[in-house]
Amino acid sequence: MGEEIAISLQNVSKCFKRYSRPVDKLKEVLLPSHSKVDEFWAIKDINIEIPKGQTVGIVGRNGSGKSTLLQIIAGTLTPSSGDVQVNGRVSALLELGSGFNPEFTGRQNVFFNGRLLGLSQKQIEDRFDDIAAFADIGDFIEQPVKTYSSGMFVRLAFAVAVNVDPEILIVDEALAVGDIVFQHRCMRRMRAMMDSGVTTLFVSHDAGAIKTLCNSAIMLHDGKIHTTGLPNAVILEYLKLVTELELGLSTEVEVNSQQQVNNISDNVIPSATAANSDIESPSLNFKNATRRGSGKAKIENVKILNQLGKYAGENPVFLFNEKVTLVVNVKVYSPINSCIVGFHLCDKNGNEVIGSNTLEENITIDRLAAAEEIEIRFEFNLPLRPGSYSLTVAGAENYESISFDWIDNIMVVQILPPDTGKRIHALVAQPMVVKINKKSLPNIVTQT
Percent of the chain with pLDDT over 70: 82
Tally Cβ neighbours within 10 Å of residue 38: 10
Q: Residue 255: pLDDT above 50?
A: no
Would you give the distance in Å from CA 356 to the centre of its chain?
A: 19
Rounded Cα gap, residues 74 and 52, in angstroms: 16
| Whole-number Å distance between alpha carbons of 155 and 135 | 5
Given a cut of 80, whether residue 50 has pLDDT beyond it is yes
Angle between helix axes 150-162 and 106-116 (nearest 10 degrees) is: 40
**Residue 3 in contact with residue 53, Cβ under 8 Å?**
no
**Backbone angles phi and psi of 44, in degrees to 5:** -145, 125
Give dist(CA 93, CA 74) in Å, integer: 10
Q: Give a three-class secondary structure readout of the chain.
A: CCCCEEEEEEEEEEEEEECCCHHHHHHHHHCHHHCCCEEEEEEEEEEEEEECCCEEEEECCCCCCHHHHHHHHHCCCCCCEEEEEECCCEEEECCCCCCCCCCCEHHHHHHHHHHHCCCCHHHHHHHHHHHHHHHCCHHHHHCEHHHCCHHHHHHHHHHHHHCCCCCEEEEECHHHHCCHHHHHHHHHHHHHHHHCCCEEEEECCCHHHHHHHCCEEEEEECCEEEEEECHHHHHHHHHHHHHHHHHCCCCCCCCCCCCCCCCCCCCCCCCCCCCCCCCCCCCCCCCCCEEECCCCEEEEEEEEECCCCCECCCCCEECCCCEEEEEEEEEECCCECCCEEEEEEECCCCCEEEEEECCCCCCCCCCECCCCEEEEEEEEECCECCEEEEEEEEEECCCCCCCCEEEECCCEEEECCCCCCCCCCCCECCCCCCCCCCCCCCCCCCCC
pLDDT tens digits, one per residue of 201-244 = 988 887 878 888 888 999 999 999 999 999 988 988 888 888 87
Residue that wins the pLDDT comparison between 143 and 421: 143
Residue 252's pLDDT is 42
pLDDT at 377: 97
Is residue 330 a contact partner of residue 394, using CB atoms and an 8 Å limit? no
As a whole number, mean pLDDT of residues 362-376 equals: 94
Q: What is the pLDDT of residues 297-343, one digit of tens each?
A: 999 999 999 999 999 988 899 999 999 999 999 999 999 999 999 99
- Give the pTM: 0.69
Model confidence band, residue 175 (pLDDT cutoffs 50, 70, 90): low
Q: What is the pLDDT of residue 282?
A: 46
Residues 6+ apart with CB under 8 A from 18: 37, 38, 39, 40
What are the structural domains of the chain?
5-237 (3.40.50.300), 251-415 (2.70.50.60)
Lowest mean pLDDT among 186-195, 364-373, 410-419: 186-195
pLDDT 10s digits, 176-188: 666 777 777 888 8
pLDDT at 267 over 70: no
pLDDT at 113 over 90: no
pLDDT value for 2: 59
What average pLDDT score do residues 143-160 get?
88
Is residue 384 predicted with pLDDT exceeding 50?
A: yes
| pLDDT over 70 (residue 432) | yes
As a whole number of Å, the CA-based R_g of the chain is 27
- Cα 206 from Cα 192, distance rounded (Å): 19
Q: Determine the pLDDT at residue 206.
A: 79
Question: Greater confidence, 441 or 167?
Answer: 167
Q: What is the pLDDT of residue 283?
A: 47
CB count, 10 Å around CB of 250? 13
